[in-house]
Amino acid sequence: MGRKTLVWGHAWPKSGMNSKSDKLRHIMRVLSHEIIVYTNGQKKELAIKMPNKVIHSAPNALLYKEEMSSEHFKNPCNIIFVSRMVENKKAMLLFSAFKKIVNQLPADSKLILIGDGPERKLIMDQTTKTDLKGRIILPGTVVDKIQLNNYYKSSLISASPGRVGLGLTQSLGYGVPMIIARNELHGPEVEVAIEGVNSYFFQKDNVDDLALKILGAFRNSVTILDSREKLSLDCKNTFSIEVMATTFVNLINKIN
């Protein structure tokens, strides 16, 4: 129609920049006047392939700055997982790791698995067959942000045993570092993960290594709690809804 056209989305398919399907995606990129991608890292990568194209980033976000808080309950000792409970998110792997080390964790530590999907029922069935009753919390999908915030307030660490995406920035928004599987097909948000600072990586699909990383986090609990405020502040400045929206507001103002 001859109008200025902006496209917004992931720079690359899930399987990466060398995917065959990127040829179709590239046609759409070429037809656009300007491109908006999800992260600063994707912006830099795409600029190498398309040096003459105007490219912007709008960091993908779930929370407003005012919703991000590093506040926590006294001695938080839970482990939290927030995601769809489908196979590639691997909640069952986290359940198995927790079961393996539960006697080495504080007596009041719980595994909170928030979300719904086929693995939720599997874990519920497994829980009834063990002595973990009362140590596994399965509230299903939680949309109330106050309730969700309270779950994070009670947690020392979060975990993403499968693919990670927006759940990482949500966790960091609450000041809670995340244990992440290495070499998974993660979303672009994983670029914010800094090992030993806001994240801890374990060997993909290795329940023993995941268990060790959880135990390591509890041994390092004082440092983790001291860092919560900074993690939340950093996320406010990079992965808040306000930061994401600014890119679109500026572009609309420029067009008008």
pLDDT in tens, 57-111: 999 899 999 999 999 999 999 999 999 999 999 999 999 999 999 999 999 999 9
Q: Do residue 75 and residue 198 come from a single domain? A: yes
The predicted pLDDT at position 194 comes to: 94
Q: Do residue 41 and residue 88 come from a single domain? A: no
Q: Do residue 217 and residue 129 come from a single domain? A: yes
| 1 falls within a domain | no
Q: Do residue 187 and residue 74 come from a single domain? A: yes
Question: Do residues 47 and 80 lie in contact, with contact meaning Cβ atoms separated by under 8 Å?
Answer: no
Give per-residue pLDDT as tens, 172-219: 999 999 999 999 989 889 999 999 999 999 999 999 999 999 999 999
| 251 falls within a domain | no
Nearest CA to 98 out of 65, 53, 67, 137 is that of: 137
Q: Do residue 11 and residue 110 come from a single domain? A: no
Q: Do residue 172 and residue 221 come from a single domain? A: yes
| 125 falls within a domain | yes
| 245 falls within a domain | no
Identify the residue with better confidence: 61 or 256: 61
| 255 falls within a domain | no
Give per-residue pLDDT as tens, 105-129: 999 999 999 999 999 999 999 998 8
Structural domain total, the chain: 2
| 135 falls within a domain | yes
Whether the pLDDT of residue 1 is over 90: the answer is: no
Q: Do residue 43 and residue 123 come from a single domain? A: no
Which region, left, alpha or beta, applies to residue 2 given φ > 0 means left and ψ of -120 to 50 means alpha? left
Q: Do residue 80 and residue 169 come from a single domain? A: yes
| 188 falls within a domain | yes
Write out the residue range of the structural domain in which residue 52 sits.
6-57
Question: Do residues 136 and 95 lie in contact, with contact meaning Cβ atoms separated by under 8 Å?
Answer: yes
Say how far apart CA 93 and CA 196 lie, in whole Å: 22
Sheet of 54-57, strands arranged across: 6-8, 34-37, 54-57
Whether the pLDDT of residue 2 is over 90: the answer is: no
DSSP letter assigned to residue 161: S
Q: Do residue 39 and residue 71 come from a single domain? A: no
Q: Do residue 108 and residue 229 come from a single domain? A: yes
Q: Do residue 76 and residue 125 come from a single domain? A: yes
The predicted pLDDT at position 15 comes to: 79
| 95 falls within a domain | yes
CATH of the domain at 160: 3.40.50.2000
Q: In the numeric block, which tokens belong to residue 172?
A: 């960091």
